[in-house]
Chain A
Amino acid sequence: MAVNKYAYRFFFLFFLVAWHCGVPQEGKSLYTENCVNCHMADGSGLPGIIPAINASPVIKGPYQELACLLYNGRQPADTIKSFVAMPSFKTLTETQITNLINYVKKEWTEDPQFVSEQEVAAAVKACQ
């Protein structure tokens, strides 16, 4: 029936748009809830105390390192000038970690390589 054909196309487009809009939006919400207080909305951090992430080699680098950083947190390091410890975000689900990684890569890398939930799950398992 013609009505069914258009209905199927409409719902397909609807879910495509909803999925496309949903993934980076949750990443942004996660960033706002968990990261903004320290790394700031524009990713600039507080130089000398909290690293900037808008030009961070960690954001640009392998997703495995970023996944482990989110999962385990980090003590202040000499390699990246910082003062306070980064907390662990192991309470986030693998879906949330994936969305957060993809959001920060989309925001602050020029050629973002997005990751899948399966890749993040494997990375998190390897760094436990």
Chain B
Amino acid sequence: MRYFFIIALAAVLITSGCQEKKPLPIIGNIETTATGDTIYPVIRDFSFINQDSQVVSNKDLLGKVTIADFFFTSCPSICPIVKKQELRLYDRFDNYPDLMLVSFTIDPKRDTPERLHLYAQNLEVDPKRWVFLTGPKDELHAISKDYVSIVLEDPDAPGGFDHSGRLILVDKNAHVRSFCNGTDPKEVDRFMEDVQWLLDNGGE
């Protein structure tokens, strides 16, 4: 009987440490209307060109879970490290057709579709799973705010652009649900759990 209580106590203590992951919040400025309705921030409408010179718009990403980042191919600073971490995500979630990686260039002058095509080809990634987008610079820089990312053109910065190396998780309804510092493997480990949670919860 004594052993029963000891084992039962141990079981309670052990299982009390197993907490269910909390739902991911919607990130951004949440507004309330005069009538009391809640408006959740969404990624704005956009239309850019991918590495195969095909149009990709926000409509193409609705219904998909996306992992986004902002980079440029000539980046001598953080981009290679972030791309290395993105490849971990690409490999880990290769069985999820509803997950797409989206890399926006912040240097469309140099990063033409042809250059992005070569870049993606060299990385050996499937264009159906990972798109590299280019378009008008002002629009690319403006949309980074919706993705809680910083992009600044700065001639003194390495490569001419200053930008955060964030990886951003967006759900099927274009809401930002998580982000991490893409240069930190431990933060990416934690971010992977968020991605898994969102995929397990139908992407919403």
A69 on interface, CB distance cutoff 8 Å: no
**Which residues on B sit within 8 Å (CB–CB) of A38?**
76, 80
Q: Answer whether A37 and B80 are a contact pair too, CB < 8 Å, given A83-B73, A84-B74.
A: yes
Question: Which of A45, A46, A50, A83 has a CB less than 8 Å from the CB of B118?
Answer: A83
Partner-binding segment picked from B50-58, B91-99, B119-127, B188-196: B119-127
Q: Is B124's CB under 8 angstroms from A48's CB?
A: yes
Chain B interface size, under 10 / 10 to 19 / 20 to 34 / 35 or more: 10 to 19
**Which residues on B sit within 8 Å (CB–CB) of A37?**
76-78, 80-81
A58 on interface, CB distance cutoff 8 Å: no
Determine the residue in chain B with the shortest Cβ distance to A46.
B80
| Bound Cα distance from A87 to B122, whole angstroms | 20
Q: Is B76's CB under 8 angstroms from A46's CB?
A: no
**Which residues on B sit within 8 Å (CB–CB) of A122?**
none
Q: Interface residues, chain A, CB within 8 Å of chain B?
A: 36-38, 40, 44-50, 81, 83-84, 87
Q: Interface residues, chain B, CB within 8 Å of chain A?
A: 73-74, 76-78, 80-81, 83-84, 118-119, 122-124
Question: 9 more A-B contacts (CB under 8 A) besides A37-B76, A40-B80, A49-B80?
Answer: A36-B81, A37-B81, A44-B84, A46-B80, A47-B124, A48-B124, A49-B83, A49-B119, A49-B123
